[in-house]
Amino acid sequence: MKLYDLTLSGNCYKVRLLAALIGLPLELVPVDFLAGDHKRAPVIELNPLGQLPALEDGAVVLRDSQAILVYLARKHGGEAWLPTEPEPLARVMQWLSTAANEVQHGPADARLVDKFGLPLDKPSTLRTSDFILPLLDRHLATRDWLELGRPTIADIAVFPYVALAPEGGVSLDGYAHINRWIARIKALPGYVAMPGTE
């Protein structure tokens, strides 16, 4: 199973993290992002959106970090990381949307501006961060994991760009519940870090 990968991408890291937690070996294919290789073959043929990560598992080709988490969790994680009953599946799904929407356009985009110089609207990324992080902190005030009382791909999808928020100038000081949740994720058996989350 090949992951077209960028070490500094939180979206690629999500996949590497879940694979490590479920003990699944991945063949990493490094893609030179700064050289624009994600916009050229072979990546653009695997993912027409020209985004990383992309996954190739025999004839199965998938784009989008959340979709790849879903695939690995269903194929190799049993019901543990992504249950298939309507309510728990939908509970996890809520956070996959939050990861693709508010977490991406908040702390993740803020980091793209500060760390990679992308010409995005920084004030907008800070407003979105100031919207979602307090809500996340309050959600975690009464629970250890985002849903179902155990780690699921909801946690894996949301974790990277929250943990990396300081790299976009978004402080996590004062978010005590988020910080404890980050520590719990880092304590999971098999956990691997990425640059910026240590």
Given the rule CB under 8 A, which residues bind its own copies? 48-49, 60, 62-68, 70-71, 74-75, 84-87, 89-91, 93-94, 96-98, 100-102, 104-105, 120-121, 124, 135, 138-139
Are the C-beta atoms of residues 156 and 17 closer than 8 Å to each other?
yes
Shortest Å distance, C-beta 15 to its own copies? 12
Residue 189's SS3 state is coil
Q: Give residue for tokens 């978010």.
A: 175
Which residue, 177 or 186, is less far from its own copies as judged by CB?
177
What minimum distance in Å lies between the beta carbon of 198 and its own copies? Answer: 28
Nearer to its own copies, 68 or 165 (CB): 68
Cα–Cα distance measured from residue 195 to residue 184, given in angstroms and rounded to the nearest whole number: 18
Structure tokens given for 2:
């090949």
C-beta of 94 vs 191, nearer to its own copies: 94
129: amino acid identity, one letter: S
Q: Give residue for tokens 């988490």.
A: 69
The least CB distance from residue 57 to its own copies, in Å, is: 9
Element (H, E) at 134: helix 122-139
Nearer to its own copies, 74 or 177 (CB): 74
